[in-house]
Amino acid sequence: MANLKEIRTRISSVQKTKQVTAAMKMVSAAKLKKAQDAIVQIRPFADKLHEILSNLTGSLTNSDDNLYGVERRPEKVLLVAITSNKGLCGGFNANVIKQVTILAGSTYYEQYQRDSLHVLAIGKQGFEILKKTYHVVGEHNHVYDNLSFENVSAIATSVMKEFVEGKYDKVELVYNQFKNAGVQILTTEQFLPVVQPEEDLNNQTEYIFEPNQEEILGELIPKSLKTQFFKAMLDSFASEHGARMTAMHKATDNASDLIQDLNLTYNKARQSAITNEILEIVSGANALSS
């Protein structure tokens, strides 16, 4: 059995760890509220805009102006892996990295073998791991310093430009979709080309273009794509804080349980030490009396 000093040192160490995890839980809870409000507010708008975009793209299949809906054989693929800059959030980052690995080993195995599968890493945690195995073409860790539509749209614009220029034939987003503080849904979402959902192929909405079709294509489609990208970032950001809050809550509970066990061990060791001292005193007294 460990001596009393070692147990006291261990208890003190776990108590300090508990204070840190409890503080991190409170910080994440505060940030989660703001991030959750942001994703809840933008999600209906983004979903409706994406629905319009899908219908619009479906009705313009034969148009040369439909630059973002051109379907090509996926010879060159870009995976946008959205993780976080910080850790201590459970399996949040690991799940995204694992999904990229699964896609590289199955759906896009041929492209991976030809070095035609590239990864755009958003978040330091994903970048540090993915760069060791995959062809990472860029990182955008700075975007979390100010997660605004303007900063995110700049990344989306760059990706859209590369697709139009033919650098990539397909672009997919891999991120955690926010459901609630305790649940994050790992999502792989096709970003480009824009395709119409199969269930809507026979139920297309007819639109009256005002002022004209060219201006609609030039304004609505890029804006919708940028909004879709921004929604994915907000989803991931809210999921990160939810995952970290949950992880720190569990860590705090585990620390409390460990402290309780250590206190029990300490009391048993202290009781045993006192018993031994009493026995030594009694034995000494008996020896003197004899």
CA distances from 177 to 83, 92, 94, 117, 173 (A): 11, 11, 14, 23, 11
From 32, 67, 89, 192, active-site residue? 89
d(Cα 251, Cα 245) in Å, to the nearest integer? 10
Task: Please classify residue 214 by burial: count the beta carbons closer than 10 Å to its beta carbon, then call 0-12 exposed, 13-18 middle and 19+ buried.
Answer: exposed
Query: Which structure tokens are listed for 239?
Result: 């999921």
HSE of 205, CA atoms in CB hemisphere, 13 A: 13
CA distances from 128 to 60, 99, 180, 226 (A): 41, 16, 27, 26
Beta partners for residue 121, in sequence order: 81, 139
Place of tokens 């983004």: 46
Beta partners for residue 180, in sequence order: 183
Q: Is the dihedral of CA 227, 229, 234, 235 positive or negative?
A: positive
Contact between 195 and 203 under an 8 Å Cβ cutoff? The reply is no
Short-list 207, 185, 252, 282, CA closest to 53 = 207
Q: Is 109 a known active-site residue?
A: no
Short-list 175, 191, 189, 184, CA closest to 96 = 175
d(Cα 117, Cα 97) in Å, to the nearest integer? 15
Catalytically active residues are: 89
